[in-house]
C-alpha cells in the first residue's frame, strides 16, 4: 500500500531559512521508502495553477545550506475559495498526488486544515516560519536563524548607540508574537523587549521609562515586536519624543533581512528531523497533523491545535530581561 503513495511537497506563506533543508528531507525520505515525490511550485498557487514537477533526489542536491525555498513560496487568494480548492484538488489528482506535505506558517496550516476537511487528502505539515507562533511546538523551522540574524544586527547597532548615547527602538518581525523580540533581547543583552502578549497588562513604555532607563547607562536598546498592539518601533519612538523629549531616540526596522541567510545548524537539523517524520507519519497512515517538537522529542500535533493563536510565551523571561539589564 505504501508504494502507492505519491507525495506532493510545497512551501507556502512567508519564507523561512531551513525550508530547503525540509524539502530535501521530505524528498529523500520518500525516495528512500520507494515513494514518488512531486514538487509543487509557489505554495497553494502551484496546486491551483498546476505548476507541479516530478522530483528526483538530484532536485534537492546542494540546497541544505541555502536560505529561501527552491520551490518558491506565495500567498494564494484563490485557495481561500471553495472553487479554488476544488481546482487544486483536481490538479493534484490529475498529477497522481495522493498525499501532501505542507511547509509553512499559521496561514498555510489553516489552509491545509480547510483542504483536509473538504477532500480526502492525508496531509502532514511542518512548521516553517521565523515567527515561532505555532502552538504545540517549542520551535519552528527558521526561528533560530532569524534570532541569530537579529542578534548580529543588534550587536552592530549597539556600537553606534553607545557612541552616540542614544535610545534605540529596534523593530523585529513576529506577526503579533513576541518570541523574536523577547529572545532577541535576551541574546543581544538589550535593555527591554516590548511584546504584544503583555500589552494589555501594563503600559510597557511607561514601565520602561519609570524603571530608570539610562540612569546608569549611556545608551539603551529596546526590541519591539511589530504589531498593532505595540504600535511598532515608530509608534513608540513618536510617543517618547512627545512624552519624554529629553531622550535622543532612533528607530531601526530590521525588516526582511530577518528572513534571509543560510540556516543555522539547529534549523537544518530540525528541518531534517521534521521532514523525515512528516513522511513517516504519512507512511503510518496518519493524516492532518503538524510535526512539532516538544522537549526535544518530535510529536504529531492536530491541525486544529497548531493554529490556536495563543501560544504561550514564558513571561518570567520578561522580568529576567529587566534584571539582567540593571
Ligand atoms: P503563513 O503560512 O506564513 O502564515 P499566510 O497567512 O499568508 O502565510 O498563508 C499562506 C496561504 O495559506 C494563504 O495565501 C492562503 O493561500 C492559505 N490560507 C490561509 N488561510 C486560509 C484559509 N482560512 N483557508 C484557505 N486557505 C488559507
φ/ψ bin of 77: left (φ > 0), alpha (ψ from -120 to 50), beta (otherwise)? alpha
Burial class (CB in 10 A: 0-12, 13-18, 19+), 316: exposed
As a three-state string, the secondary structure of 12-36 is CCCCCCCHHHHHHHHHHHHHHCCCE
For a mutational test of ligand 1's pocket, the pick from 77, 104, 107, i.e. the residue with the most ligand atoms closer than 8 A to its C-beta, is 107
Sheet of strand 167-172, all strands in order from the earlier edge strand to the far edge: 192-194, 220-225, 167-172, 249-253
Q: How do residues 286-317 score in pLDDT, each as one tens digit?
A: 999 999 999 999 999 999 999 987 899 999 99
Ligand 1 contact via 129 beta carbon (within 6 Å): yes
Give the span between the Cα atoms of 293 and 12, in whole angstroms.
20
44 Cα nearest atom in ligand 1: 16
E-assigned strand segments in 52-210? 52-55, 99-104, 123-127, 167-172, 192-194
Q: Is pLDDT of 44 > 90?
A: yes
- What is the distance in A from the centroid of ligand 1 to the CA of 13? 6
Out of 3.30.1370.60, 3.20.20.70, 3.40.50.460, 3.40.50.300, the CATH code matching 145-259 is 3.40.50.460
80 Cα nearest atom in ligand 1: 25
Q: How do residues 203-234 score in pLDDT, each as one tens digit?
A: 777 877 777 665 556 778 999 999 988 889 99
Q: How do residues 103-149 score in pLDDT, each as one tens digit?
A: 999 999 999 999 999 999 999 999 999 999 999 999 999 999 999 99
Out of 3.40.50.1980, 3.40.50.450, 3.40.50.10470, 2.60.40.1120, the CATH code matching 2-142+263-308 is 3.40.50.450
Mean pLDDT of 23-48: 98
Give the pLDDT confidence score for residue 231 in this predicted structure: 87
Give the pLDDT confidence score for residue 2 in this predicted structure: 46
Ligand 1 contact via 115 beta carbon (within 6 Å): no
Q: How do residues 182-203 score in pLDDT, each as one tens digit?
A: 999 999 999 999 999 987 666 7
Which residues of the chain are in CATH 3.40.50.460 domains? 145-259
Q: Is pLDDT of 24 > 50?
A: yes
Main-chain dihedrals φ then ψ at residue 176, nearest 5 degrees: 70, 15
What does pLDDT average to over the chain? 93
- Name which of 47-56, 223-232, 259-268, 281-290 the model is least confident about: 223-232
- What is the distance in A from the centroid of ligand 1 to the CA of 101? 15
131 Cα nearest atom in ligand 1: 3
Q: Is pLDDT of 259 > 90?
A: yes
Which residues of the chain are in CATH 3.40.50.450 domains? 2-142+263-308
**Helix (H/G/I), strand (E/B), else coil: 75:** coil
| 131 in active site | yes
Collect all residues with Cβ–Cβ distance below 8 Å to 9 and sequence separation of at least 6: 23, 26, 27, 37, 38, 39, 40, 55, 71, 100, 101, 103
Ligand 1 contact via 46 beta carbon (within 6 Å): no
Mean pLDDT of 249-277: 97
Place of cell 528572513: 259
Amino acid at each position: 500500500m505504501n508504494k502507492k503513495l505519491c507525495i506532493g511537497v510545497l512551501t507556502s506563506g512567508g519564507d523561512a531559512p531551513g525550508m530547503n533543508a525540509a524539502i530535501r528531507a521530505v524528498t529523500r525520505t520518500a525516495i528512500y521508502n520507494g515513494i514518488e515525490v512531486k514538487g509543487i511550485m509557489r505554495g497553494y498557487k502551484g496546486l491551483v495553477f498546476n505548476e507541479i514537477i516530478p522530483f528526483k533526489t538530484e532536485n534537492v542536491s546542494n540546497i541544505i545550506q541555502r536560505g529561501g525555498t527552491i520551490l518558491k513560496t506565495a500567498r494564494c487568494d484563490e485557495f481561500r475559495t471553495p472553487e479554488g480548492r476544488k481546482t487544486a484538488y483536481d490538479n493534484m489528482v490529475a498529477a497522481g498526488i495522493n498525499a501532501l506535505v505542507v511547509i509553512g506558517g499559521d496561514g498555510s496550516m489553516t489552509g491545509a486544515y480547510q483542504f483536509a476537511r473538504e477532500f480526502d487528502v492525508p496531509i502532514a505539515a511542518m512548521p516553517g516560519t521565523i515567527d515561532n507562533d505555532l502552538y504545540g511546538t517549542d520551535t519552528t523551522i527558521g526561528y533560530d536563524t532569524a534570532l541569530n540574524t537579529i542578534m548580529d544586527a543588534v550587536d552592530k547597532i549597539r556600537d553606534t548607540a553607545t557612541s552616540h548615547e542614544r535610545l534605540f527602538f529596534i523593530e523585529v518581525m513576529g506577526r503579533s508574537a513576541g518570541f523574536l523580540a523577547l529572545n532577541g533581547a535576551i541574546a543581544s543583552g538589550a535593555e527591554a523587549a516590548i511584546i504584544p502578549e503583555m500589552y494589555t497588562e501594563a503600559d510597557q513604555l511607561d514601565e520602561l521609562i519609570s524603571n530608570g532607563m539610562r540612569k546608569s547607562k549611556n545608551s539603551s536598546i529596546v526590541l519591539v515586536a511589530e504589531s498593532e498592539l505595540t504600535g511598532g518601533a515608530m509608534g513608540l519612538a513618536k510617543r517618547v519624543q512627545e512624552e519624554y523629549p529629553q531622550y535622543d531616540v532612533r528607530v531601526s526596522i530590521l525588516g526582511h533581512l530577518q528572513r534571509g541567510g543560510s540556516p543555522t545548524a539547529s534549523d537544518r537539523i530540525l528541518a531534517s528531523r521534521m521532514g523525515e517524520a512528516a513522511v513517516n507519519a504519512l507512511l503510518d497512515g496518519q493524516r492532518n497533523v503538524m510535526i512539532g517538537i516538544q522537549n526535544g522529542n518530535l510529536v504529531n500535533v492536530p491541525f486544529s491545535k497548531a493554529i490556536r493563536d495563543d501560544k504561550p510565551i514564558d513571561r518570567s523571561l520578561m522580568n529576567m530581561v529587566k534584571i539582567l539589564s540593571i
